[in-house]
Amino acid sequence: MNAPALTPEDRQKLDDLYARLSAMRDKNIGYPCNQEFDYSELFRFLQFSVNNVGDPFSGSNYRMNTQDFEREVVAEFAEFAQAKANDWWGYVTSGGTEGNMYGLYVGRETYPEGICYFSEDTHYSVAKILRLQHTRSLMLKSQPNGEMDYEDLRESLRIHRDAPPIIFANIGTTMKGAIDNLLTIRSILNELSISKAYVHADAALSGMILPFVEDAQPWNFAAGADSISISGHKMLGSPIPCGVILARKKHVERVSRSIEYIGALDTTIAGSRSAIAPLFLWYRLHTLGHDGLRHTVNGCLERAEYAVDKLCAIGINAWRHKNSVTVVFPKPPESIMRKWILAPNQDICHLIVMPHVSRSIIDAFVDDFASAMNEPYNTSLQ
């Protein structure tokens, strides 16, 4: 039987979509989605209905899966995050929100009476997750640079000493790229003699940056994390949103259940999971290699500093954190917001220098910004 053909009108819709996305590619500088990748070698696998249902380390009755590739992927991410051998577990998620949901879920199961502490610069999805899980929570103040206010954390922990803390740490905040220092957080817990505590690290973007720099801020398992969420479609790049969650094995054992129907352990958030996303991540890791990843990250950091210098040269007060590809500046005039895909928040905005954001793209953006400077806007951050 021949496959039904699309009508000319339907084909035109697809062509129009392709043209629209192609035109926007180089203007997409405000969100951390790498547009530079080529997975054409893997397109042949799209003819199979593959599914990574269940725990990637326990096997499954549904053998049309890529769990062997998934195990390799999470093992590499565990190495990046300095997890101790035989002391970690993980799987490929649908993205950062699922990773954070898993970390907070395991934290809540570890300490059912706990209180989750997160700063006001935390990603919007975290408050939603906490509502869904009915976890007690307390929002902390942030410092002006976006980092957690550690004095507010200390005082809040002191007041609520009766409840174990579940601390949500940002390893690169959404708007400013600020990193909450895990060693500082752990030292506060030790100072207050709090032995029962869980620390989740949201390293969506920076989790694929910090392993490849010379002087990384404390962010990983070695610095005191109990679980870490890292995105796959950000620095690595993927047409499918995805990520990796890693957690200490002793915590995951609290939520593990055996399911006869699928012949696997139920340790993940989702039942059916993408088997294509792990394949993409495996391919990307193996084609780039550690040297290629380091080169990619350092190139982005160098171009981020270039963007800061170019913006400052035209009178825009731009800045970025150490080891961050997020360049922060006052919200531009409306003409710039319409032409470029940027991420605003109140009176600030940012561009994120991903691998596809070249110097020429930065130059074009800065030239447009300079031309629009006669429009009313605020050139300095509050």
**Side-chain half-sphere CA neighbours of 369 within 13 A:** 28
From CA 255, how far away is CA 257, in angstroms rounded? 7
DSSP state of 309: H
Q: Are the CB atoms for 99 and 243 separated by under 8 Å?
A: yes
50-53's contacts with Cβ under 8 Å and 24+ in sequence apart are: 50/275, 50/276, 51/272, 51/273, 51/275, 52/91, 52/92, 52/272, 52/273, 52/274, 52/275, 52/278, 53/262, 53/264, 53/271, 53/272, 53/273
Rounded distance between C-alpha atoms, residue 98 and residue 93, angstroms: 6
Rounded CA separation 342/32 (Å): 10
Q: 82: helix, coil or strand? A: coil
Catalytic entry in 22, 229, 324, 380? 324
**358 a catalytic residue:** no
CA distance 326 to 172: 9
Pairing of strands 243-248, 198-202: unpaired
Tokens of 196: 């029962």
Q: What are phi and psi of 76, to 5 degrees?
A: -65, -40
Return the closest-CA partner of residue 200 out of 177, 167, 242, 176.
167
Report the candidate in 132, 21, 127, 89 with the shortest Cα–Cα distance to residue 267. Answer: 89
Tokens, residue 227 = 């679980």
> What is the DSSP track for 266-282?
E-SS-SS-BSHHHHHHH
Burial of 2 (0-12, 13-18, 19+ CB in 10 A): exposed
The phi and psi torsions of 156 (rounded to 5 degrees) equal -65, -40
Catalytic site positions: 324
